[in-house]
Amino acid sequence: MSENPTTETTRQDAGGRAIIEARNVVKRFGGATAVDDVSIEVAPGEIYGLVGENGAGKSTLMRVLAGILTPDHGSVVVDGRELEAGSTRAALEAGISLVHQELSLVPELTVAENIVLGTTPVQAGFIKKREMKKIASDALEEIRVQVDLDEPIVRLSVALRQFVEIARAIARKPRVLILDEPTATLTPAETDYLLDMLERLAGQGLAIIYISHRIPEIFRICNRVSVLRDGHLVDTVSISDIKPNEIVDKMVGRELKQELETSRTKVAAGDVVLQARGIKAPGVNGIDLDVRAGEIVGLGGLVGAGRTELVRAIVGADIKSAGTVTINTDGTMRRVNSYRSAISHGFAYVPEERRTDGLALTMTVSDNIALPNRSQLSRYSVLMRGKIGTFAKELADAVGLRPPEIQREAGDFSGGNQQKVVLAKWLGRKPDVIILDEPTRGVDVGAKVEIHRLVRDLAEGGTAVLVVSSDLPELLDLADVIHVVRDGRIAGTLSRDEADEKSVMSLASGESQVRGL
């Protein structure tokens, strides 16, 4: 149902004068296809929105455009000329600048040094300082941001860093500017400023590709929008031809949206199992927390608010500077004083970074599942292979691993199935407390539904669940109670009935304080 945009658009359509095109781009990672036969084209002066759930393939597609990734199939075309695949240099020379989702500035270098990094003006091996500062100050002026050029990046706020990152892209005099979730860490006022800036830049003829989760932003600045789901291009439409809820339907897939919204039948929560008191750690400024048996407690807040730091301090994955954590099971109360004691007392921890912290990608699914369950799978320190096989198979089936091939390397599976493996390995321990950090990030919608069901099943079985999520619908759907974290403290606690997107976001961004709510 991919209809061509009609002529009703306020600004120009790409038509035949696209400055940049992606043609039938396919990109695979191991066995998972992140981008599957996607074509888009963007015209000068156009702001082109790109939306989709986490893991839909937006960032991968943009990295292909910027020459960071080499596509397995398809090409990038600029001004009708095919770009050398996988060459960042070729992309830069063609005028493509990417503002990364994760900040890519060097913290120890100054603002000016960062802005010219990679294109530093040199003469006979020496940096031409005056010229460097001129380039930097011109770029900052272009985006109308004032910041001391000699300030090291570490001393800047997250928002200012984001603007320096944009200045760096602008300094390269791009003709195509790609921004990947630039407003994720910005306050509403800063976001306004950024959106105005982008409209101004587009007015000067710059082509802008804008990735965001925030639908209102897309409607405010974009001319056209493409929706990606599971690596496929679902649709490209003129913004005047679509309504916000229709975009969400396309992102999620209509059938699943209902599924995602089925709310949990409230379980009568039991005794407090996890008790954390006065937790302090870098980024965490004194937090108390209780989780009861059978209860799902959600931690909401903006990226960088200290949620990941908090749960890592609780479980002992990082050292905490103050506070106590106890686990109460079977009428005994035990102090948790190291990560290993936490695990042996019945904790399970599903970390935020699945690929680096959660799985050994070059080992089989079976081995990954066996890892935390070795004691019940070995005798006299010799592994019982047959038992490992049945054990892993049972758990892989329980989490719905697809394909159910436990002797394949974990790296061969898609993000969602990898996350199921991480869950499976902890399910094998029948944990009393499970801590999940962004459990469905980068996971396709189908797997998301299954993971949510697993989490609910765990809670119904009496496990105390603590879940961190930046995905608001997920948090609202799963949690019985939501603590919103801001600046390393709990800014507010919302019961299931009180919580909605607005109430969580206003606590998270500090808006409610300003308005005296």
Partner 1 sequence: MTNEAQSVAEAVVGEPAIEKQPFNLLVWMSSRGIFVFTTVLVVVAAIFIDGFASLDNITDVFNRAAPIGIVAVGMTFVVISANYLDLSVVAQVATAAVVLIAVSNESNIPAAMALAFVIALLYGLVNGVAVGVFKANAVIVTLSTTFIGLGILRWFSGGSIYFGPQDGAIRSFGLAKIGPFPLSMIVLILMTLILSFVLTRTNFGFLVRSYGSNRDATRLAGVNTAWVVIGAFTITSIAAMIGGFVLGAFSNTAVSSMSTGFDFRALAAIIVGGTSVFGGRGSVLRTLLGVVFVSVLTNIMVLSGLGFGVQQMAIGALIVAAVSIDSLARKASGT
Mapping DSSP onto H, E and C, the string for 231-287 reads: CEEEEEEEHHHCCHHHHHHHHHCHHHHHHHHCCCCCCCCCCEEEEEEEEEECCEEEE
Q: Does 255 bind partner 1 (CB under 8 A)?
A: yes
Question: CB 88 → partner 1: shortest distance, Å?
Answer: 16
Of these, 86, 121, 304, 372, which contacts partner 1 (CB under 8 A)?
372
User: Which amino acid makes up residue 88?
Assistant: T
Applying CB under 8 A, does 122 fall inside the site for partner 1?
no
Q: Could you tell me which stretch among 90-98, 240-248, 293-301, 340-348 binds partner 1 (CB under 8 A)?
A: 340-348
Q: How far is the CB of 33 from partner 1 (least distance, A)?
A: 7
* Between 134 and 232, CB nearer to partner 1: 232
200 touches 207 (CB < 8 A): no
β-strand 126-127 against 122-123: which pairing, if any?
Answer: antiparallel
Sole window of 91-99, 100-108, 270-278, 392-400 interacting with partner 1 (rule: CB under 8 A): 392-400
- Tell me how far apart the terminal alpha carbons of the chain are, to the nearest angstrom: 45
Least distance (Å) between residue 20 CB and partner 1: 26
Q: Interface with partner 1 includes 339 (CB under 8 A)?
A: yes
Closest separation in Å from C-beta 459 to partner 1:
15
CB of 451 to partner 1, least distance (A): 9
Instruction: Tell me how far apart the alpha carbons of residues 462 and 13 are, in angstroms, rounded to a whole number.
Output: 56
Cα(46)–Cα(507) distance, integer angstroms: 35
Closest C-alpha to 287, from 434, 472, 437, 487: 487
Q: Residue 400 CB, nearest distance to partner 1 (Å)? A: 4
Q: Compute the distance between CA of residue 181 and CA of residue 218 in angstroms, rounded to an integer.
A: 11
Stretch that binds partner 1, among 153-161, 335-343, 478-486, 499-507 (CB under 8 A): 335-343
Evaluated on CA atoms 135, 137, 143, 147, the torsion sign reads positive
**Residue 494 CB, nearest approach to partner 1 (Å):** 27
Nearest-5° Cα angle at 61, 250 to 173: 120
Tokens of 123: 């003469």
CB of 22 to partner 1, least distance (A): 21
Q: Is 402 among the residues that bind partner 1 (CB under 8 A)?
A: yes
Task: Please tell me whether residue 461 binds partner 1 under the rule CB under 8 A.
Answer: no
- CA-to-CA separations, 305 to 183, 185, 282, 352, 506, in angstroms, rounded: 15, 10, 11, 14, 14
Are the beta carbons of 509 and 191 closer than 8 angstroms?
no
Rounded to a whole number of angstroms, the minimum distance from the CB of residue 417 to partner 1 is 7
Q: Does 37 bind partner 1 (CB under 8 A)?
A: no
Radius of gyration over alpha carbons of the chain, in Å?
24
Residue 398 sits in the site that holds partner 1 (CB under 8 A) = yes
User: Is there binding between residue 383 and partner 1 (CB under 8 A)?
Assistant: yes
416-455 residues near partner 1, rule: CB under 8 A: 416-417, 425, 444-447, 449-450, 453-454
Q: Contact between 335 and partner 1 (CB under 8 A)?
A: no
| Least gap, CB of 357 to partner 1 (angstroms) | 5
Residue 437 C-beta: closest distance to partner 1, Å: 11
Of the residues 1, 124, 268, 382, which one makes contact with partner 1 according to CB under 8 A? 382
What's the rounded Cα separation, in Å, for the pair 378 and 382?
A: 5
Contact flag: residue 123 with partner 1 (CB under 8 A):
no
Residue whose tokens read 């039938």 = 24
Q: Tokens 């019945």 sit at which residue?
A: 346
Separation between Cα atoms, residue 241 and residue 237, nearest integer Å: 7
How wide is the angle at C-alpha 361 spanned by C-alphas 107 and 340, nearest 5°?
A: 75
Length of the chain: 517
- When asked if residue 414 is in the footprint of partner 1 (CB under 8 A), the reply is yes
Q: Is the peptide bond before 404 cis (omega within 30 degrees of 0)?
A: no
- Kindly state whether residue 28 participates in binding partner 1, applying the rule CB under 8 A: yes
User: Contact with partner 1 (CB under 8 A): which of 371, 387, 394, 487?
Assistant: 371
Distance, in Å, from the CA atom of 390 to the CA atom of 14, rounded to the nearest integer, reads: 56
- Residue 119 as a binder of partner 1 (CB under 8 A): the answer is no
Binding-site size for partner 1 (CB under 8 A) equals 58
> CA nearest 64: which of 27, 92, 90, 33?
27
Question: Whose Cβ is closer to partner 1: residue 240's or residue 338's?
Answer: 338
Between CA 152 and CA 162 the distance in angstroms is 14
Q: Rule CB under 8 A: say whether 54 interacts with partner 1.
A: no
- Residue 473 interacting with partner 1 (CB under 8 A): no
Using the rule CB under 8 A, is 351 a contact of partner 1? yes
From candidates 253, 389, 462, 510, binder to partner 1 by CB under 8 A: 253
Residue 509's H or E segment, with its range, is helix 501-509
Candidates 48-56, 91-99, 200-208, 357-365; binding stretch for partner 1 (CB under 8 A): 357-365
Residues that bind partner 1 (CB under 8 A): 28-31, 33, 230, 253, 255-256, 259, 317, 339-340, 343-344, 349, 351, 356-363, 367, 370-372, 374, 378, 381-383, 385, 398-400, 402-403, 405, 408-409, 411-414, 416-417, 425, 444-447, 449-450, 453-454
